[in-house]
Amino acid sequence: MTDEAEDKPTVMVFEVLKSAIIDGSAVRLGRLAFAGRRSIDTPNYFAVTSRGVVPHLTPDNVAKHLHAGAAYMALEDCERSRGFS
């Protein structure tokens, strides 16, 4: 008999790359990987957007200074505007 866990594909993997305890604080570097997607090194910064734009930053400053590995955009920001007749 085979184990059911062995038959299922791995959906998410988190691995600790480096861990250190300094003055009671645990610092760690890790990697979060989802099947079929690019892995994300942690800790990481996710830019929070409003309607697809990082608030209070101009596009040229975002391109020059912001090195975010990902961006968060709320689902309600994806609505299409509907005209009423």
Structure confidence by residue, pLDDT tens digits, 25-70: 777 889 989 888 888 888 877 778 887 778 888 888 888 887 776 7
Gyration radius of the chain over CA positions: 20
DSSP letter at 11 equals: -
Between residues 21 and 83, the one the model is more confident about: 21
pLDDT at 85 over 60: no
Higher pLDDT, 71 or 65: 65
pLDDT of residue 4: 53
Residue 6 confidence class, pLDDT cut points 50, 70, 90: low
Enter the DSSP assignment of 80.
Answer: P
Question: 33: which 2 tokens?
Answer: 């990987």
CA distance 47 to 66: 9
